[in-house]
């Protein structure tokens, strides 16, 4: 792979260890950029499972006497990024909606932490995801995805709106950009490993 971004691995990896696999969740509300992010950085062809779920739709249709189709697309993404000679991240893109709580049960197991993608113009849409993350006791960093045309929101205002702890990292990211996305993950991993010490 191309040049690995720098993580001061001596501080984190046991002497003599070959590779350390780290499971990281990439979470966020619908259309916040999870798939884009994992596609931009994965060094293996990213997997994306698109599963069409019929919700309690049938029942709903019966009640309403409408034959409209109530379907929701659930997209899960999987990718890998080597961030130093010996630290390899396994990335799981996970939708943030409360109705996927069962999936979260599995996803959260063994995860070191999560990167929460947020859209600065739709912060309220991220409340549910952050609640879920906290419910599962996962440490996280916030990556503010810069969509074209969105103005910068002052970090202080964003921290307040999302009710973040003072030491929770907040980093800007362009989910389409490899370098920018990798930097956000490095910030997260450094934070997680420092906390684990
Ligand atoms: N302009 C811009 N568009 C983005 C960015 N990140 C994602 N998008 C677009 O936003 C839409 C939703 O992104 P997607 O990755 O599918 O979101 P997901 O539902 O969280 O997986 C797609 O059309 C992306 O191309 C970004 O940083 N800038
Ligand atoms: Mg997606």
pLDDT at 71: 43
Pocket test for ligand 1, best of 25, 32, 33 (most atoms within 8 A of CB): 33
Classify the phi-psi angles of 123: left when phi > 0, otherwise alpha if psi is within -120 to 50, otherwise beta.
Answer: alpha
Give CA–CA dist 53/1, Å, rounded.
36
C-alpha 125 to ligand 2 mean position (Å):
15
Ligand nearest to the backbone CA of 49: 2
118 versus 9: the higher-pLDDT residue is 118
Q: Which atom of ligand 1 is nearest to the CA of 28?
A: 20
* Sign of the dihedral defined by the CA atoms of residues 167, 171, 175, 180, in that order: negative
C-alpha 145 to ligand 1 mean position (Å):
9
pLDDT at 74: 58
Q: Which atom of ligand 1 is nearest to the CA of 145?
A: 27
Q: Find out whether 68 and 168 touch, Cβ atoms under 8 Å.
A: no
Strands 87-95 and 20-28: parallel
- Tens digits of per-residue pLDDT, 90-110? 999 988 776 777 778 888 889
Instruction: State how far the alpha carbon of 168 is from the alpha carbons of 16, 27, 144, 188, in Å.
Output: 31, 16, 13, 9
- Tens digits of per-residue pLDDT, 120-145? 989 999 999 999 999 999 999 999 99
pLDDT at 49: 65
User: By C-alpha distance, which of 47, 42, 97 is closest to 74?
Assistant: 97
- DSSP for residue 152: P
C-alpha 183 to ligand 2 mean position (Å):
20
**Can you list the domains of the chain with their CATH numbers?**
14-196 (3.40.50.300)
Ligand nearest to the backbone CA of 27: 1
C-alpha 167 to ligand 2 mean position (Å):
28
Ligand nearest to the backbone CA of 32: 1
Give CA–CA dist 61/68, Å, rounded.
7
pLDDT at 42: 92
What residue ranges line ligand 1, CB within 6 angstroms? Answer: 28, 30-36, 75, 145-148, 174-176
Question: In the predicted model, what is the mean pLDDT of the chain?
Answer: 81
């Amino acid at each position: 792979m191309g040049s690995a971004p720098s993580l001061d691995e001596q501080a984190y990896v046991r002497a003599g260890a070959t590779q350390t696999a780290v499971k990281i969740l990439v979470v966020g509300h619908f259309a916040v950029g999870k798939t884009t992010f994992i596609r931009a950085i994965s060094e293996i062809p990213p997997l994306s499972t698109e599963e069409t779920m019929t919700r309690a739709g049938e029942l709903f249709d019966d009640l309403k006497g409408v034959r409209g189709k109530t379907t929701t697309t659930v997209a899960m993404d999987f990718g890998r990024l080597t961030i130093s000679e010996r630290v390899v991240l396994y990335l799981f893109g996970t939708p943030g909606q409360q109705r996927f709580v069962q999936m979260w049960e599995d996803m959260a197991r063994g995860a070191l932490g999560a990167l929460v993608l947020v859209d600065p113009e739709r912060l309220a849409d991220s409340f549910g995801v952050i609640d879920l993350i906290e419910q599962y006791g996962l440490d996280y960093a916030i990556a503010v995805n810069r969509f074209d045309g969105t103005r910068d929101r002052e970090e202080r205002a964003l921290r307040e709106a999302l009710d973040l702890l003072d030491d929770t990292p907040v980093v800007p990211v362009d989910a389409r950009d490899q370098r920018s996305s990798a930097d956000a993950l490095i910030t997260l991993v450094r934070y997680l490993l420092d906390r684990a010490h």
